[in-house]
Amino acid sequence: MSDAAPHLRLERLTRHYAGAPAPAVDTISLDLPRGALLALLGPSGCGKTTTLRMIAGLERPDGGRILVGGQDVTALPPHRRQMGVVFQSYALFPHMTAAGNTAFGLEMRGLGRAERARRAQVALEMVGLGALAGRKPRQLSGGQQQRVALARALAIEPELLLLDEPLSALDAKLREGVRDEIRALQQRLGTTTVFVTHDQTEALAMADLVAVMDAGRVEQLAPPEEVFERPATRFVATFVGRAARLKGMLEPGGVLRCGGLALRSTADLAPGPAEAFLRPHRVRLLAPTEAPPPGFDNLLDATLARRVYTGEVIALETETGAGPVMAELHAGADEAWRGLAPGAPLRLAFRAADLAVFPAS
């Protein structure tokens, strides 16, 4: 990510739908450097697809601007924007072969037949479908169709690559592999990319930047690790990853009083009613006589309420004096803890910085 100026800039982008009380996209602003992959992550109806469609030119914003490479493209119709779009349903032209589909964008740009065929073949080989160029879409599997859609979008060497839930139509087993392939391809080509998803694992695994969206607004725009470890808002804390929610009163000095217990936090907010979120992997289980590691200022006595076995992780739901706290055990580790049954007493430790504190809603 070298360029100083952002490759894609959204400036206060807004979109209303007639009859809806709230805007679908509410003055969104963000910058995306060249070559980066941005994930628009959020629940259905949060406006992520609408935002993508506005970038592509398939919907007109009611307010704001879209700039690509410094140029205002807001008023440009889709066929004049240099963007490759992969639709959720792939939208392959049923009456053309894979090669014909892939070459279509090149045809629109006036390339000669031989040159088109060559570049289309190159694009198809990039996605591993060189041998199936002559097949029609209905003769291809879902995964193969998706690759053709990708090849078609990449063949025109677009300024921006836009993907609308590219993995959602695939079988769960395929998803991970394809996900990594798309990411590898994107990095190799250096194409600035925006993709829409409701699956946080996808977003965290693929993206350079994640924009967590809710109700038309961007709640947080940051690299994946920051979004996960340091959620900026309550929504991000609960939407991305699991977190326990503790309610209480924030006192001066970052002390959070929950259920009569004093918890240390690094919150820099005005005192008042507050909510704190704690991620399970930040909670350390201590043996009955074990001392907490240095820096782990918070120590709670807990009772195991539930354990849920999901294979790689055993989720532990506990009750403490401050409220419900979640912890986890990893398969292979912590053999000593595997025999825990509901009702067993536990000692939990976590750092002050691990509490994400927000004013109560």
Partner 1 sequence: MRPSWMLRLFAALGLLVLLAPGLLVLVVSFSAGDFLTFPPPGFSLRWYQALFTHPGLMAALGTSAMLAALVSVLALLLGAPAAYAIARLDFPGRDVLATLLMAPLLLPTLVLGLGLLLVLQPLGLVATWPGLMLGHSLVAIPFAVRIMTTAFAAVPKELEAAAWTLGATPLRAALRITLPNAAPGAIAAGVLTFLVSFDETVISLFLVGPRLTTLPVEMFRYAERTTDPLIAALAMSLIAFALLMVAVVERLMGFTRAMGRD
- Applying CB under 8 A, which residues contact partner 1? 56-58, 77-81, 83-85, 87, 89, 91-95, 104-105, 108-109, 152-153, 156, 162
Are the C-beta atoms of 43 and 239 separated by less than 8 Å?
A: yes
Helix/strand/coil (H/E/C) assignment for every residue in 57-110:
CCCCCCEEEEEECCEECCCCCHHHCCEEEECCCCCCCCCCCHHHHHHHHHHHCC
Shortest distance in whole angstroms from residue 254 CB to partner 1? 50
Shortest distance in whole angstroms from residue 143 CB to partner 1? 18
Shortest distance in whole angstroms from residue 179 CB to partner 1? 22
Other CB atoms within 10 A of residue 38 CB: 24
Instruction: Tell me how far apart the terminal alpha carbons of the chain are, to the nearest angstrom.
Output: 38
162 or 357: whose CB is closer to partner 1? Answer: 162
Cα Rg of the chain (Å, integer) = 24
Task: Please give the full DSSP string across 23-54, using - where no structure is assigned.
Answer: -SEEEEEEEE-TT-EEEEE--TTSSHHHHHHH
162 or 355: whose CB is closer to partner 1? Answer: 162
138 or 173: whose CB is closer to partner 1? Answer: 138
159 or 328: whose CB is closer to partner 1? Answer: 159
Shortest distance in whole angstroms from residue 168 CB to partner 1? 15
Shortest distance in whole angstroms from residue 255 CB to partner 1? 54
164 or 328: whose CB is closer to partner 1? Answer: 164
87 or 337: whose CB is closer to partner 1? Answer: 87
315 burial class (0-12, 13-18, 19+ CB within 10 angstroms)? middle
Are the C-beta atoms of 344 and 356 separated by less than 8 Å?
A: no
Shortest distance in whole angstroms from residue 152 CB to partner 1? 7
Q: Tell me which DSSP letter residue 234 carries.
A: H
